[in-house]
Chain A
Amino acid sequence: MEIFLQALASAMTPMAIASIGLGALIGLIFGSIPGLTFTVALALALPITFSMDPVPAIGLLLGTYIGGMTGGSVSAILLGIPGTPSAAATVLDGHPMTKQGNASIALGTAVIVSVFGGVFSLIVMIVSVDLVSRVAISFGPAEIFALVLFGLSTICGLCGGSLIKGLISGALGLMIMTIGIDTIDGVQRMTFGSVNMMQGVNLLVAMIGLFAVPFIIEAFAVKTSMPEKSQRISRVKAELPSIGLLGRNLWLMIKCSVMGTGIGAIPGTGGAIASFLAYDHAKRFSKKPESFGKGNIEGVVAPETANNAVTGGTLIPLLSLGIPGDPATAIVLAGLMIHGITPGPALFMNHAGEVYGMYVAVVLAYLWVLGLQLMGIRLFVHVLKIPRELLAVAVLVLCAIGAFSIRNSVFDIYAMGAIGVAAYVLVSFRVPITPIILGMVLGPTLENEFRTAMMLSMGDPEIFYSSPTVLIFFSLALLVIGLQAVSEFKAKKQPKNEVKADA
Chain B
Amino acid sequence: MTNSAKDVALSLSLLALSAVWTWLVIDTIPTGWGHGDIGPRAFPMVLGIILGGLCILLLIRTYLLGRTPAGKAGTGDVDAIEEASSERWGSMILVAVEISAYGFLLQKLGFLIATPILILFVLVIHLRLRSWKTILGMTLGMTLGCWLFFEKLLGIYLANGSWFNIG
Enumerate chain A interface residues (CB-CB to B < 8 A).
29, 36, 40, 44, 80, 91-93, 95-96, 158-162, 164-169, 171-172, 174-175, 178, 182, 184-185, 187, 189-190, 210-211, 213-218, 220-221, 223-225, 292-294, 299, 389-390, 393-394, 396-398, 400-401, 404-405, 408, 410-411, 413-414, 416-418, 420-421, 423-425, 427-435, 447, 450-451, 454-460
Contact = CB atoms under 8 A, between A and B. Distances in A.
A417 B115 contact: no
| Most chain A beta-carbon neighbours within 10 Å: one of B30, B73, B100, B146 | B73
17 contacts: A159-B74, A160-B77, A175-B47, A178-B47, A218-B88, A294-B75, A393-B138, A400-B106, A404-B158, A410-B103, A413-B103, A428-B88, A431-B74, A434-B77, A435-B74, A447-B43, A454-B38
Interface of B: 3, 6-7, 9-10, 14, 21, 24-25, 28-30, 32, 34-40, 42-44, 47-48, 50-51, 54-55, 57-58, 61, 69-81, 84-85, 87-88, 90-92, 94-96, 98-100, 102-104, 106-107, 115, 118-119, 122-123, 126-128, 134, 138, 142, 146, 150, 154-159
B36 A459 contact: yes
A185 B80 contact: no
Contact of B72 (A96, A161, A424, A425): A161
Contact of B142 (A164, A394, A405, A429): A394
B127 A224 contact: yes
Nearest to B3: A430
Contacts of A405: 150, 156-158
A165 B7 CA distance: 10
Given A401-B146, A434-B77, A190 B87 contact: no
| Most chain B beta-carbon neighbours within 10 Å: one of A92, A182, A430 | A430
Contact of B88 (A164, A221, A429, A447): A221
A33 B42 CA distance: 36
A220 B127 contact: yes
A217 B95 contact: yes
A185 B95 contact: no
B73 A160 contact: yes
Given A162-B69, A393-B119, A427-B73, A417 B38 contact: no
Given A175-B51, A217-B88, A396-B122, A160 B72 contact: yes
A434 B40 CA distance: 26
B42 to A, nearest CB: 8
Nearest to A162: B69
B29 A44 contact: no
A160 B74 contact: yes
B84 to A, nearest CB: 5
A259 to B, nearest CB: 20
Nearest to A459: B36
| Most chain A beta-carbon neighbours within 10 Å: one of B40, B78, B87, B126 | B78
Given A175-B47, A190-B21, A396-B98, 10 more contacts: A29-B154, A93-B76, A168-B14, A171-B47, A221-B87, A410-B104, A420-B95, A421-B96, A424-B92, A430-B3
B150 to A, nearest CB: 6
Contact of B100 (A40, A218, A417, A457): A417
B142 A397 contact: yes
A66 B85 CA distance: 44
A218 B81 contact: yes
Nearest to B43: A447
Contact of A430 (B6, B38, B127): B6
Q: Which 10 A-B pairs have the closest CB atoms?
A: A432-B74, A293-B75, A161-B70, A92-B76, A160-B74, A162-B69, A417-B99, A225-B87, A459-B36, A221-B91
B25 to A, nearest CB: 7
Nearest to A294: B75
Contacts of B122: 220, 393, 396
A458 B35 contact: yes
A64 to B, nearest CB: 12
A429 B10 contact: yes
A214 B71 contact: no
A430 B29 contact: no
Contact of B75 (A40, A400, A432, A460): A432
| Most chain B beta-carbon neighbours within 10 Å: one of A211, A293, A416 | A293
B75 A158 contact: yes
B92 A175 contact: no
Contact of A428 (B40, B58, B81, B158): B81
A210 B150 CA distance: 24
Given A429-B6, A430-B6, A433-B77, A393 B123 contact: yes
A171 B47 CA distance: 6
